[in-house]
Each structure stands twice: as C-alpha cells, then as structure tokens.
Chains A and B, each alone.
Chain A
Amino acid sequence: MSVMSCPGCAGAPLAEETARSFPASSAGDTVSLSLPGIHCAACVSGVERGLSRLPDVLDARVNLSLKRVSVQTRGDADEDSLINALLELGFEALPLDSDTLRAGEGDAAGRALLLRLAVAGFAMMNVMILSVAVWAGAADATRQLFHWISAIIALPAVAFAARPFFASALSVLRVGRVNMEVPISLAILLASGLSLYETMAGGEDAYFDAALSLTFFLLIGRYLDHRTRAAARSAAQELAALEVPSATCLRGGEPVRVKAADIVVGDLVQVPAGGRLPVDGVIDAGRSQLDRSLLTGESLPVAAQVGHEVVSGEVNLSNPLIVRATAVGQDTTLRRMAEMVAVAESGRSHYTPLADRAARLYAPLVHGVAAFAFIGWFIVTGDVRYSLNIAIATLIITCPCALGLAVPAVTTAASGSLFRKGLLIKSATALERLAEVDAVVFDKTGTLTDGTPILEDLQNLSAEDRAVVLALSQSSAHPISRLLAAALEGMQVTPTSLDDIHEIAGRGVEGLDGLERVRLGKSQTAVGGTVFQRGDAAEQVLRIDESLRPGAQDLVASIQSQGLHVELLSGDTEFAAAKLGARLGLERSKGDMLPADKIDHLATLQSQGKRVLMVGDGLNDMGAMAQAFVSISPASGVDATRATSDIVLLGRSLAPVQDALKVSRSARARIRENFGIAICYNAVAVPLAVLGFASPLMAALAMSSSSILVILNALRVRA
C-alpha cells in the first residue's frame, strides 16, 4: 500500500517487480527531462520505475529538488519516446537541452565551500584544544611544542579554507575598492604570519586559533548565504534550456529530424499537438490553438490558422501545425527575450550591499588605527617586533567577525522566518533592497488573479437552460466549453439529451432541444463574449471573469495605506486591466503591454528615482523583473521567471508579501544595530589593544562574545 498520495501521482501505477539494469561503462546518451509536476516520493518511484522498464533505458535518476530526471539511454532512444512513456504514466515531461544545462550543472561552488568549511572546522577544533592548554599555563618546551603543532595544522588549513576570502579581497582591490573581505583577509593573513614568526622566535603569544575560528565562522556565513541562493540558477540559462533541441522539418516532402540550430529560414517545420514552437514563423497548414502566455502572460488559448504569425516558445495545443520558419536561431523571439533579460540583469548588479558600504568606512579606520599603534609604539620603544605585535593584535581584536556576521546572520534569520510564512529568499541582498522599495508594480494574470476563470452568470440561468448549456459544452473541446462544463458539473447539473449537435467553426455549438434550436457560442450582436441563445430569444451573456488570488485585495490596500506608488501592468487588453484595477481600487493600470513595454515602463519609473518592487509570474514579465529593483514571483510561475526573481512566493495567497515588506524593514534595522554593536565593541577593545593589553585569550573571547551578541540580535527579526 502506498502511504503518500498527491494529485500528480493519481495516474502513477504501482510498478511491479522491475529488472533494473545499472549504467554500463559504455552508456549511450544522457537525456535530461524537466518534470514540473512531480512533488512526492510516489512520483519519484513512479518515474524511475516506469522509465527503467523501457528497453532502451539503462538507468533513470530523478532529482526532486530540481524537478528533473536524467536518463541514461543505450543511445538509440530519443526524447520523444521517453516523454510519451512518461505521459502514459501521467507525468508531464519537457525536454531540456542537456548541453545548455551542463554548463551550470553540479553545485561546484557549494561543494567547494563545504569542503573548506570542513577543513577549517577540523583544524579549528584541534588547534583550540592545544590553545586551551597554553592559556591554562603550559610553558617553555610544552608551549613551544603546542605552538608548532598548531602551526603545522593551521597554516595549510588557512591557506586552503580562507581562499574564497582572499580571492574576493584581491578582486576588489584590483579595481581599487574595498569590501568586507579585505579586512577579513588581512586579519587572517597577519594573524597566521605573526603567529608563525612568534613560534619560530619562541614567543609567548600565537593567534592560530583566532585565524582559524575567524575563517570557520565566516565560512558558515558564506555557506548559508550560498545555500539560500543555490536555487537561483541563471535565468537566461533556463530560458535557453526551454528551447526545443530538435524538430521535424519537411524537406523535399520528406520529414527529417534536424537539430533546432540547423533549421534555416523557409523550412517547413512540423509542430505536433502539445509541442513548443522552435522558430518564429507563419502557419503554412493546419488549424489549432496556441498558448501564447510567453508573450502576453494570458492563459486563455488563441485560435491559429493558415497565415497567422507565430512565435518561438508558444505551445501548440490542439492539432498538428506546419510552420514556415521566418526567424531562426539567434533571431527568434525567445532568444531576443533571453538577451533582453540578460541585459536587464547585468544592469541591476550595481547595488552596493550594506555590508560593503560599512566595509568602506570600517577598513580604512581599522587599518589607520593599527598603523597609528605601530608608529606610536615604535617611537616609544624602538622595538619593531613589539610594535608590530601590538598593531596586529589590534587588527585581530577589532573583530571583523562581528562585522562579517552582522549581515548574513540577520539575512538567515529573516529568510528562515519568511520561509515559514511561505516565502523563499533567493538573493542575498533581496531583503535590503525590499526595505527600500517605494513603488510596487503588479502583473495581472497569474499574479493578482489566479489564471483560472470563474463563471459569474451561470447562477442566473434557469435550471432547464443550465442542463442544455452543459450538454452543448460537453460536446465541444473548446477551452471555454470545457470551463463551462466543469463549472456546471460542479453544480450537480445533469445534461439534457439534445439532437443534431454540431460545431460551427468560429460560431460555437448548436443543437436541437426538442424542436427548438439552442446555441452556445459567440454573440451575434456587438456585445461580444460567450452567449447562450434559445431559439430566437435574447442572447444570455455568460461572462467569464478571473478570480482574485487570495490576499490580493488586502495586499493592495495595505500597500496603498503605506503611501507606496502602486501600478498594474498587464499583457491582457486595456479593458481587462482597467476592470481589475477598478476592482482592487488601483488608480494606475495599463493593458496591452508587451514584454519590452514593461521593461521600458519600469525604466521610466526608475529614472524618476523610484525603487520598484515587481510582482509577476510569466515569461513576459521576466525582463521587467530583472529590470526592477527587487522582484517577487509566485511558485506557480514559469521556472525561468522564478529564477530571475529575488523572492519566490510558495503558497497561493499573496498575503506573505506584506510580511516580506515588514520583515525586510525589521531586518534592515537589525543589521544597523549589529553594526552598532560591532562599533561599541571596538570602542572598548581597540584602546586596550593599542595600549598593548591584548592577548590571544582576549582575542578569542572578543571574537566569540561579539559574534554571539550579533547572532542573538539577529534573532530578534520579527514581522
């Protein structure tokens, strides 16, 4: 018996005994498929068992975190057969371009950090044991021995573990700036160098433990930071992977399978039902419906027939199409959008985090004080070694530890508290930026509204008419018919049996109820929309409206009451945008916005000095989200859009966005307090160090107590 169940797995059969073969050394290709629908253990085993049963599959391994499966094939199995096999099992699967993905595959950076963290932790613990013995009073030969052992452990460990700090410090120094890593690197390097020198000279004080614990604690901050952002893969890369890697072309009347890159302008491309368009083009044969949400963000399908222009990335919904390619490769709309996003993203990286701004003040100050201590003591005593000792002790004791943790501790605490409320913070500086926001821009469909239309007017029909409408709508595959049918079935209506039901293309469905002609379809008058008509009686309009996402009304009201500038930008019609705007009490709403228009609009707002929060979900919002100061997308959005956004909303409700705004402001306050704590701390510690009272024990105490204070303060972050 299976204990877990989820809607996505309803169709997953419990696989019986399957013979699984493991990848032979001579495995063929590895195919990557995206599985947007999987989310539980039964899905994982359903997919893996289902695929392993195929003759050409050597091994299949699902990655639930990335919602992907990588399949090792014997070489001759193509993606389509795998996708079809998965569809039969009830799993939606999309092809991913393995080569594009591989570029960013395997979280190499995260692994490297983890290794360094482990090495630093191991070395720190061992050195600390020896240091405690020295503090407790070990003297002479024993102290010498302990210092030497510490040196042997610490020096290679620091050289390996602290390299990310050195690299980062070096890279900013090269361009003539300072960040937090500069004082950190300097403190680590000087502490190790001084300790080595003192050990060789038989001195009393060694700071190996300080150098290592500094490295260890700061690496923890780094790793936490990296983990919160690990989900954020490059948006442009995801978009590129969405492209169809291969397509079927008609060349000389024969269907030929070609790589998407090899299609040329003028080729006739076959697009199967359910397939994504690989190129921009004009429909040459066939009649179907297209999901154009890529460009407009709207979920209602659009009819397409011969002569219509179509765009890469759109999905062909009902019937096969043949498309004559007009733009291929780099010129397709999908690629141009990816470029637009990349440009907008690179423009945003100019934000200077609080930590770096603090470092700009802190680094020169601390280094100045240390230099001053060295010169002062040198003048007084004339002893270079003694003066240098004091200068370095000053650097170590000024605690870049508290400063280095001031921001990551708060961000981690805030991210944790927001995660429990259903928000995923992906960018390290997202909270800082969110706290400064003074304008909010919403997308319409899928963001403020749910994307699933609701039917307002069915209640107004007579019971008899409802039964007829259900009978008519059940006979048609049109999306609006399906919606009507689903809604009516939900209202426990039983369909009337009708005669002579037939579909009239472009007009709707007709039938005979007894002797009376009944029709469901487009209005014959100027009103437009979907209507039901009985005989020659008046048309009854069946309005289709969108339901608001829960929390949308409250969110908009609360943002307005805070005096922020709010706008609605939609790819839908001007009318639909204005209607929703009025419903939410929004003063500014704009419709008919193409992706580029949204980007331009945000750029205009920003040139007026506004810091814009963009909330959107579709591929058409991606550019605007990359352009915005900070962005939020619901988890129901497209993967690539989620990858661009700084914050992902996990649940259906929009209410957590309010919490995000509150927490971000609270977090900013805590970060500032933490800097205050570090400054107070230094106000006490620096004079002691400069006057020559610092010792390794004091440095260790200062480092741990200030770090703990900073972390405790960070935990006060509240919504």
Chain B
Amino acid sequence: MNVLVILIPVSLILGGMGIAAFLWTVRHNQYEDIEGDAARILFDDDEPNP
C-alpha cells in the first residue's frame, strides 16, 4: 500500500496541471470568438507577424 504515497500526489498533480492549462485558455480569451478562430486557420499567409 506504500505505493499510494506516490500515486495519490501524482494523480493530484496531473489533474492540477490539466485544470491549470484549462484556466490559462479561459483567461486568454480562447473561447471568445470560436467562429472566427475556425476561419483564421484558413488564412493564406503563413509567415509570422514581425
């Protein structure tokens, strides 16, 4: 049962990383213009912005 000492923190950390990534996307307005983002992928210009 000692393996729990490792496994429980590991599962919590993995879950925590997931939620942190999700919070980041929300904070950075990634769900504000879903339609527009779907369109932007079709832009012809692949060169990065200066």
Contacts and interface: CB of A to CB of B under 8 A. Distances in A.
A149 interface: yes
A64 B45 contact: no
Contacts of B32: 63, 65, 106-107
A129 B50 CA distance: 48
B39 to A, nearest CB: 4
A397 interface: no
B1 interface: yes
Interface residues of B, number: 27
B20 to A, nearest CB: 10
Interface string A101-139: 000001100110011001100100110010000000000
A126 B12 contact: yes
Interface in A134-155: 142, 145, 149, 153
A138 to B, nearest CB: 9
A1 interface: yes
Contacts, number: 66
A162 interface: no
Contacts of B12: 126, 153
Given A19-B50, A65-B34, A114-B31, A44 B39 contact: yes
Interface in B1-20: 1, 4, 8, 11-12, 15-16, 18-19
A2 B44 contact: yes
Contacts of B46: none
Contacts of A66: 33
A4 interface: yes
Interface string B27-50: 000011111100111111100011
B42 A4 contact: yes
B26 A111 contact: yes
Given A3-B42, A45-B43, A142-B1, A62 B36 contact: yes
B33 A65 contact: yes
Given A63-B32, A114-B31, A44 B8 contact: no
A41 interface: yes
A117 B33 CA distance: 20
Contacts of A1: 44
Nearest to A19: B50
Contacts of B1: 142
Nearest to B27: A111
Interface in A229-274: none
A40 B36 CA distance: 8
Nearest to B41: A41
A478 interface: no
A122 B15 contact: yes
Interface string A409-442: 0000000000000000000000000000000000
A111 B11 CA distance: 26
A41 B43 contact: yes
A20 interface: yes
B49 A20 contact: yes
Interface string A18-40: 01101000000000000000001
Nearest to A114: B26
Contacts of A119: 19
A268 to B, nearest CB: 41
A115 to B, nearest CB: 6
B36 A44 contact: yes
Contact of B50 (A20, A106, A153): A20
Nearest to A66: B33
Contacts of B43: 41, 44-45
B45 A45 contact: yes
Nearest to A110: B31
Nearest to A115: B26
Contact of B8 (A2, A106, A115, A149): A149
A118 B19 contact: yes
A111 B43 CA distance: 28
A129 B19 CA distance: 17
Interface in A277-319: none
Contact of B39 (A41, A107, A115, A153): A41
A14 B43 CA distance: 11
B26 to A, nearest CB: 6
B50 to A, nearest CB: 6
Contacts of A126: 11-12, 15
Interface in A151-188: 153
Contact of B42 (A41, A111, A114, A118): A41
Given A45-B45, A64-B35, A129 B40 contact: no
Given A1-B44, A41-B40, A41-B42, A115 B23 contact: yes
A323 B23 CA distance: 53
A64 B31 CA distance: 12
Interface of B: 1, 4, 8, 11-12, 15-16, 18-19, 22-23, 26, 31-36, 39-45, 49-50
The 6 closest A-B pairs by CB, nearest first: A64-B36, A41-B39, A41-B42, A65-B35, A63-B33, A122-B19
Given A3-B42, A114-B26, 4 more contacts: A44-B39, A44-B43, A45-B44, A107-B32
17 contacts: A3-B42, A4-B42, A41-B39, A44-B39, A45-B43, A62-B36, A63-B36, A64-B33, A64-B35, A65-B34, A106-B32, A110-B31, A114-B26, A114-B31, A115-B26, A125-B15, A149-B8
Interface of A: 1-4, 14, 19-20, 22, 40-41, 44-45, 62-66, 106-107, 110-111, 114-115, 118-119, 122, 125-126, 129, 142, 145, 149, 153
